[in-house]
Amino acid sequence: MTDSRGSKASPGRKAGGPVARFADPPREFSLVPFWFWNDEITGEGILRQIADFEAHGVFGFVLHPRVGLPRSIGWMSERMLGFMRVAVEEAARRGMQVIFYDEGMYPSGSSCGQVVAENPAFACRGLVCRELAEGERAPELPAGHNLVAVVRRAGGGRLAVIDRPVGSVIRGLHFADPDPPRHPGPDRPGNPGSPRPDPPEDEPLAADLLNPDAIDCFIRLVYQKLYDAFRPHVGKTVTAFFTDEPSLLGRDPKVRGAVPGTTDILGHVNRLLGYDFTPHLAALWFDDEPEAALRRAEYERAVRLRLEETYYARLSAWCAAHGVALTGHPHSEDEIGLLRQFHWPGQDLVWRYVTPGSPGALEGRVSTMAKCSSSAALHLGRRRNLNEFCGAYGHGLTFEEMKWLADWCLVRGVDLLVPHAFYYSVRGPRMDERPPDVGPNSPWWGRFRPFADYCRRLSWLNAEGRQVCGVAVLGLSDWLPWRAARALFESQLDFNYLEARHLWQDAEVGAEGIRLAGMCYRALVLDGLPALPAEAEPALAALRSAGRLVTFDPGRREPFLAEVERLAGRDLALEPANAGIRFRHVIHAGAHFYLLHNETDRPFHGRLWPSAAAPGRQALRLDPWTGRACGIDLDEPLGLGGYETAVLGVGPV
């Protein structure tokens, strides 16, 4: 028996072993798309679409109320909960999973304006400044405005720093016009990715995410209400709650120059930074203040740490107490610190920032997101990590691009893919709302089942496998470097991001390197790192003394790579060298598997030298599209077509 490449097929494997499980992994590793409920919903329509998902290999969904719903199906209304019940019970009957989206559109945290409607004091707040005239005392302020401090500018003059409501909003569930027409442009042939204008929609008021009382209100209005309505299914069919990029200032604040803040925020900033930030407040608005960039970054980091306390930690604790996972993603792509509050850390690949051949695939903060979530999950002992992908990629998105985006995430360790999105309806302007539909209303739906199976196999490979990796790249809670990461990717030296807090909280640091969550990192890479907290210095000093710190210098790329390889070894070598090949090495029940992805359109043909290869260099090549395994000889050249992905089983497979 031969596969499509003419290779001799391997003999039958022991039932239940990793090769057999790769061919048909459990349903829990399915794609779990956003399912936009964006029009008049019916029970029959829900049942029909769920059956269609299952027939196409999609065994779960994120239930996501979306703009376009009629006003008769309001957020958290009895009618909405009734339709949710139809979907959840049908998913339970079919053995599918459901993730509840926690907001009436986005960003999360406001319960579609209900938090502020319950208590106007819970509206989003921020800090603003006002320059005071010579001799002017602290200004008189209207109700709801609070004086934080009066500070002196470095160049003279005084500022009043004021905490006040900023009037920001979130996106709403309902069009302002109940049946708006589809706008005719500018999405047209020759410019297929450009967006059409959004029809006017409701704009519910955003809540103050730094106010713990406001977040307790949000939890009660959404999380507790859903739990009470679906208690028998939570932790079973309902596997997680999804929180979506909570934003400190919401959308479109009406106050110019506002920075994130709330009542009493300065006391928390001082506590989190370990010094009094009051003399540096002017740096939040004026670049000519001493160390303005540094002080601004420190303030932003402290505010995000406070957000972790007030928002993420509260949601995480509630979910843990109710037997369900918290998942979703933060507002920025490299906020690895906030991911420690997620039971399934996640990120979000949108707006064509990453595409085949684009700089964004390897450069800039967006390029860090997949390694961000997979590294966080590994180091925190989480079982899954996700990536929401394809959102707002435009009607020009192709099936080939979608598959490449999935591979881009998977080879970086993502194991739960959330396609954005499957639309309940594409009537009128719904078709253009952060397009495209990548599911039932797409031109490739008829061939979706093999892709869904492909993603399920590779997600299982990542989720159930134990990664082999000896290199860590150091980052901060809200900052991850990408220059060294690019050099490592292009040289097939795999790595994980290490948030600095691990160095003094739970990692073991010694002469061999860093031990954390079952990993041993024999090289720690520093790349343009901003000022580190003092708590990290003892661990860094020990690593420096052991010779295990490697600093990336863009002008000395080759010596840098040689030093990393000397310390950590080389797990995979290519002959000839190829900067476009990415890989991930995982172990399943003692068997070694190498996930290979050619990130470019240029075919590779050459020899591979996996470090785990058994004597005699016999191996298996596993096809993610079919699940079939075929014997190969690693002493013979291996072909990997442009954008192709393959899995090698080496050693005692």
Chunked in runs of 10, what are the mean pLDDT values of the chain (653 residues)?
30 64 97 98 98 98 98 98 98 98 98 98 97 87 95 92 98 94 68 73 98 98 98 98 97 96 97 96 96 95 95 98 98 94 97 95 97 98 97 96 98 98 97 97 98 98 98 96 98 98 97 97 94 92 98 97 98 97 96 97 96 85 97 94 97 78
| Contact in structure between 441 and 193 (CB atoms under 8 Å) | no
pLDDT attached to residue 643: 98
Q: Is 15 exposed, middle or buried (0-12, 13-18, 19+ CB in 10 A)?
A: exposed
Rounded Cα distance, 34 and 423, in Å: 8
Is 43:478 a contact under the CB 8 Å cutoff? no
Bridge partner list, 159: 131, 151
CB of 372 within 8 A of CB of 348? no
Nearest Cα residue to 512 out of 474, 568, 468: 568
Starting at the edge strand found earlier in the chain, the sheet holding 471-475 runs: 496-499, 471-475, 523-526, 549-551
* pLDDT value, residue 568: 98
20 burial level (CB within 10 Å; 0-12, 13-18, 19+): middle
Query: Cβ(248)–Cβ(209) under 8 Å?
Result: yes
Give the span between the Cα atoms of 89 and 523, in whole angstroms.
50
Half-sphere exposure of 343 (CA within 13 A, CB side): 18
Residue 342 near residue 328, CB atoms below 8 Å? yes
Pairing of strands 496-499, 471-475: parallel
Question: How far is 263 from 265, CA to CA, in rounded Å?
Answer: 6
User: What H or E segment, with its residue span, contains residue 68?
Assistant: none
- The encoded tokens of residue 161 equal 């720093």
Residue-range domains of the chain with CATH: 30-113+209-250+286-465 (3.20.20.80), 468-568 (3.40.50), 575-650 (2.60.40.1180)
Can you name the residues that pair with 473 across neighbouring β-strands? 497, 525
Do the beta carbons of residue 523 and residue 470 sit within 8 Å? Answer: yes
pLDDT tens digits for range 570-600? 999 999 999 999 999 999 999 999 999 999 9
Rounded Cα gap, residues 579 and 399, in angstroms: 25
Residue 309: Cβ-neighbour burial (10 angstroms; 0-12, 13-18, 19+):
middle
Nearest Cα neighbor of 455 from 506, 419, 431 is 419
Residue-level length of the chain: 653
Per-residue confidence (pLDDT) for residue 192, from 0 to 100: 52
Going by C-alpha positions, the residue among 3, 14, 11, 23 that lies closest to residue 458 is 23
Are 568 and 523 within 8 A, CB to CB? yes
Considering only CA atoms, give the Rg of the chain: 26
Residue 570, both tokens: 């080389």
Hey, CA dihedral for 49, 54, 58, 61, is it positive or negative?
A: positive
The conformation of residue 153, written as its DSSP 8-state character, comes to -
Return d(Cα 84, Cα 518) in angstroms, integer. Answer: 40
pLDDT of amino acid 79? 98
